[in-house]
Amino acid sequence: MKLTADMIETYRKNMEILHAVPLATADKNGLPNVAPMGAVWLENDETFWICDNFMKKTLANLNENPQAALYFWNPESKRCLQVKCKAEVKTSGDDYKTAHDRMKAKGANYPAKGLIVLHIIDVYECTPGPKAGQKAE
């Protein structure tokens, strides 16, 4: 699925104002985990990149179960979205090198151990109202 311009604006406002998005994962038994992610890039309208700087449980979960969800919210418009994704963990290759270099440009204290590529599967509305819980358009 591709994000629309309005969905992208919701993500951008979230990052501009809040500087992080929650990433939800679950282990192979379904035990959930959620953690704030600050090193998040919308790489294109179908893919998010997250740099793994300090992941422990999140990374373990993604290695066991590649299903994940992001949540972002535009505080100005009050729109919020849940983005369901399939994750791919990379620790080598061109994409990893690009993400590594981006992170290191922000500061040497970021280890940039890996790259989580999130391929968007579906987007759901979570703004209160009649469309809450429905697939976003």
Print the SS3 string covering the chain. Answer: CCCCHHHHHHHHHHHHHHCCEEEEEECCCCCEEEEEECCEEEEECCEEEEEECCCCHHHHHHHHCCEEEEEEECCCCCCEEEEEEEEEEECCCHHHHHHHHHHHHHCCCCCCCEEEEEEEEEEEECCCCCCCCCECC
Domain ranges, ordered by start, for the chain? 5-125
Confidence check: pLDDT of 137 > 90: no
- Average pLDDT on 56-85 reads 97
Q: Confidence class of residue 124 from pLDDT cuts 50, 70 and 90?
A: very high
Homologous superfamily in CATH for domain 5-125? Electron Transport, Fmn-binding Protein; Chain A (2.30.110.10)
Residue pLDDT, tens place only, 96-123? 999 999 999 999 999 999 999 999 999 9
| pTM recorded for the entire structure | 0.95
Average pLDDT of the chain to the nearest whole number: 97
